[in-house]
Structure 1
């Protein structure tokens, strides 16, 4: 059986902890085949983002088209989108895909606090949210997007992540348009090495969906993968370091 083909539309992280680099590691370790449309090149490390160069919209679309037209796509993961123009153009192209699950991680602020999306880009996110099978915002992102009613507003599912919450227990909730479908609570893993958690989780869910898993099962495996990766963090850098790579995870997940 061929690996599921996962198209990743996101920015590059030179430090390897988040973005395209984290996405490709995740897709590969979970048994998928990763392809990329890079939206931005960033100079960043565990301390923050030092420089950003946006890839022109037409080149983002050309990368997507190269993958879609020849190799094919079983699922799409969207991360850092770069600009409002690119967000709208990506939405136009994805709209033409039929029955392909789309996981949208609405990246606005890096773990270090660096802003990765301006107001116009965040406004353009609405087109992507309307197409998404699942949106995966953290607490600040969910608030910026308009709160929990975005599931009903866009007729989609939202994984409201609790990683920024207070207290020893953290809860992620899967919201359907009309109800809370499921909630998962775990004890907080005390670590500063959380760079790339959002990218990794979204890519893991997209891989599961591309492999034919149900949404709930894909999320459950993705959450286990992220928790294991957090526990394996190598401790690189003097800021928010990258997570580890759970080699062989897919064999026992």
Structure 2
């Protein structure tokens, strides 16, 4: 199917300043992300940037980029503006690839896009993979998702879900067997019409409690289709330590 990859990129980052321009094997990270996305089946790959430095870095490496407002409160708002600038139509599919995922698998991008064609009731798609360790299951920085029989999301949480009957009275020492717990992967597909509407939806109390923006979608009665992949994604870059790890992997 035809789809567009949008990569939101902003220069300000509290944990890693100038993150989109961080060097990965001799190129800025945002360029590396775009190059991976270009290996998918996307009809176009576009960086939605908030700063002239990012635009210049993309231009220097032949990556298409758009200037978007610097005052957007979230990446979703930036993507909605990019949809307007690109003139995307209501049913056009957009995949949001984060600008700090230089090791993203192009096949995962394709799968998230294809899922919207297979799940007409869902305006949003995303991905997940099986959790393998108790440490992941109990880590609040690992977002969990549970789905229904059609692989549509029922809930996202930082808490360990699903929760066994009896509440792990003896402590969490093993993983639930059925359903197997799933780790959410932060990649999203959208129908362009919904992406334009999403920033105008009132923030949900549950979203604010968990600090998970995707809960706004469920709160307002929309569905999120979930692609289950067998492969964990490559590490993202949020901190200087993450950057050093990815630079070493790239080398």
Task: Give TM-score scaled by structure 2 length.
Answer: 0.33
Higher relative contact order (CA 8 A, sep 6+): 2
Structure number with greater Rg is 2
Higher helix share: 1
